[in-house]
Amino acid sequence: MSQNIWTEKQRNVQYALATGNMNKVTISKEFDVSRQTIYNWLDNPDFVCEVDKLRQELRNFGEQLWYSHYQKSIQNIIELADTSPDQRVRYNANIYNVERIDGKLAKQINISSNTNDRKTVNSDILEQEQEKWEQQMIEQMNNEE
């Protein structure tokens, strides 16, 4: 690929095309360039390559910005789940945390006080389930770091 030195107008048009916020008519008016000139520039593979490169840089920047706040957002949800004075906020934050791990909960939980409906649960199975859940939590925390 040849090294191109882009004019200020070309550079501005490249950024505008990379962001995707303006159509070519608006770009031509904004930067005082004819639409035909923009189409001519877009026929140049190096020009298009530069637009694609800028688009990828913008996407990477946005993702880095988003990920930099991701861990803080999770910490805020956990803090709300633990310390909010509003019981509904604590409930919703805890539901969110559980659903992030186990998927959506059932919309309705039927609680029966009928002792005939109860099944006996082996304590070994409960311990195995607890260990499995703890391992999943540890793996998820390690993946987020």
- Among 144, 11, 130, smallest CA distance to 78 is for 144
Q: How far apart are alpha carbons 41 and 10 in whole angstroms? A: 8
Question: If you count them, how many residues does the chain have?
Answer: 145
Q: How far apart are alpha carbons 144 and 138 in whole angstroms? A: 10
C-alpha gyration radius of the chain:
27
Tens digit of pLDDT for each residue in 93-132? 888 878 877 777 655 455 555 656 555 656 677 777 777 8
Q: From residue 13, how far is each of 5, 17, 44, 57 by CA, in Å?
A: 14, 6, 13, 16
The distance from CA 56 to its chain's CA centroid, rounded to whole angstroms, is 16
**Contact (CB, 8 A) for 84 and 90:** yes
The distance from CA 84 to its chain's CA centroid, rounded to whole angstroms, is 25
Q: How far apart are alpha carbons 64 and 39 in whole angstroms? A: 32
Tens digit of pLDDT for each residue in 73-93? 888 888 888 888 888 888 888
**0.75 exceeded by pTM:** no
